[in-house]
Amino acid sequence: MPYDVELKSSSIVLSRDLHIATSQKQSKYLQSALTRYSKYISELTGISVKIDKSPSSSGNLLTISCKSKNCNDDNYPELNEDESYILNVTETESSLSAITLTGIVRGLSTFVQLIERDKSSGTV
Long-range pairs for 83-88: beta carbons < 8 A, 24 or more residues apart: 84/3, 85/110, 87/111
| pLDDT, averaged across the chain | 81
- Strand 94-98 and strand 61-65: pairing? parallel
Which residues have CB under 8 Å from 114's CB, separation 6+?
Answer: 89, 124
Highest mean pLDDT among 2-11, 55-64, 67-76, 77-86: 77-86
pTM here is 0.84
Distance CA 117, CA 44 (A): 7
At 75 the pLDDT is 67
Could you give the C-alpha distances from 100 to 65, 69, 107, in angstroms and in order?
A: 10, 8, 11
Higher-scoring residue by pLDDT: 31, 25 = 31
Fold entry, domain 13-123: Chitobiase; domain 2 (3.30.379)
Spatial contact of 27 and 101, defined as CB atoms under 8 Å apart: yes
Distance CA 70, CA 14 (A): 30
- pLDDT tens track for 30-70: 889 999 999 999 888 888 888 888 766 666 889 999 877 76
Where are the domains positioned within the chain?
13-123
